[in-house]
C-alpha cells in the first residue's frame, strides 16, 4: 500500500489507540512532561498578557514544548484536512442518521454538521450559542476540572489518578446529557 494512501485512510483502533497511548510514556521518559492541550492557553496568556494577574505569573518558557506540541497539532490538522482528506464517504449508522435528521441535521458529508458549523452562523444567535457560549462552557469546565479530556483521559488515568477517573466519567456523563437531553431543545429553539 502506498504511503500517501495509508495515511489518508482512517486507522483501526488497535493501531491508533496504542500510538496515542504511547504518547504518555514517551513524554514522561524524554522530560517528565504531562500530556494535555488546555494548559497551552494558559502559557499563551502568560506570554502575551503583561498584566499582574497571579495565575499567569510563572515561568511559562519552561513549558514552551507544549506550545510547539499544540502548534504541531494545529498544523497537522490543517495539512490533513487540506491535502490528506479521506476520499471515502464517512460512514454513519442509519439509526444515527435518522436521529440527526429528526434534529434537522441533514448534511453528512463532513466531520461536523454544516447546519451548525459554518461561517454564516458565526454572527447569528445559533453561532453565539454554539461558538461563544459553548466555548465559554468548555473553557470553564476545563479550568474547573483541572484539565481537558485528553489530559485527564489519556495522561491522568494512565497515571492512576483518581481525580482523572472522576473527571473523565463526568465528561462522558455531561456529553451524553448534552447530546440526548439538551441539544434537541437548543436545536428546536434556534
- 22 has a pLDDT exceeding 80: yes
- With contact defined as beta carbons under 8 Å apart, do 156 and 168 qualify? yes
Of 32-36, 45-49, 95-99, 121-125, where does mean pLDDT reach its minimum?
A: 32-36
Give the pLDDT score at 165. Answer: 93
Highest mean pLDDT of the ranges 2-16, 30-44, 112-126, 170-184: 170-184
The rounded distance, in Å, linking the Cα atoms of 23 and 28 is 9
- With contact defined as beta carbons under 8 Å apart, do 107 and 118 qualify? no
Give the pLDDT score at 53. Answer: 83
First to last CA, the chain: 46
Task: Dump strand ranges (E) for 48-175.
Answer: none
Q: What are phi and psi of 52, to 5 degrees?
A: -90, 45
Q: What is the pLDDT of residues 52-69, one digit of tens each?
A: 788 888 888 888 888 898
The rounded distance, in Å, linking the Cα atoms of 190 and 182 is 13
All structural domains of the chain with their residue ranges? 1-88, 90-190
The rounded distance, in Å, linking the Cα atoms of 60 and 75 is 22
- With contact defined as beta carbons under 8 Å apart, do 151 and 167 qualify? no
- With contact defined as beta carbons under 8 Å apart, do 20 and 151 qualify? no
The mean pLDDT value of the chain amounts to 84
Give the pLDDT score at 1. Answer: 56
Q: What is the pLDDT of residues 23-61, one digit of tens each?
A: 888 888 888 887 778 888 888 888 887 677 888 888 888
Give the pLDDT score at 59. Answer: 85
DSSP string, 55-94: GG-S-GGGGHHHHHHHHHHHHHHHHHHHHS---SPPP--H
Region 134-149: mean pLDDT is: 85
C-alpha cell at 70: 499544540
Q: What are phi and psi of 101, to 5 degrees?
A: -65, -35
Banded model confidence at residue 177, pLDDT cuts 50, 70, 90: very high
Give the pLDDT score at 72. Answer: 92
Banded model confidence at residue 131, pLDDT cuts 50, 70, 90: confident
Give the pLDDT score at 81. Answer: 82
Amino acid at each position: 500500500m502506498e504511503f500517501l494512501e495509508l495515511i489518508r485512510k482512517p486507522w483501526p483502533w488497535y493501531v491508533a489507540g496504542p500510538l496515542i497511548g504511547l504518547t504518555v510514556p514517551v513524554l514522561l521518559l524524554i522530560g517528565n512532561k504531562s500530556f494535555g492541550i488546555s494548559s497551552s492557553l494558559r502559557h499563551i496568556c502568560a506570554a502575551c498578557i503583561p498584566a499582574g494577574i497571579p495565575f499567569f505569573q510563572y515561568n511559562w518558557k519552561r513549558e514552551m514544548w507544549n506550545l510547539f506540541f499544540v502548534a504541531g497539532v494545529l498544523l497537522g490538522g490543517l495539512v490533513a484536512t487540506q491535502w490528506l482528506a479521506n476520499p471515502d464517504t464517512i460512514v454513519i449508522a442509519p439509526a444515527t442518521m435518522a436521529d440527526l435528521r429528526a434534529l434537522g441535521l441533514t448534511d453528512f458529508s463532513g466531520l461536523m454538521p454544516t447546519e451548525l458549523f459554518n461561517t454564516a452562523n458565526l454572527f447569528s444567535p445559533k453561532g453565539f450559542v454554539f461558538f461563544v457560549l459553548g466555548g465559554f462552557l468548555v473553557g470553564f469546565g476545563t479550568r474547573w476540572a483541572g484539565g481537558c479530556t485528553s489530559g485527564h483521559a489519556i495522561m491522568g488515568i494512565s497515571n492512576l489518578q483518581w481525580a482523572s477517573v472522576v473527571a473523565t466519567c463526568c465528561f462522558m456523563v455531561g456529553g451524553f446529557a448534552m447530546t440526548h437531553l439538551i441539544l434537541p431543545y437548543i436545536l428546536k429553539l434556534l
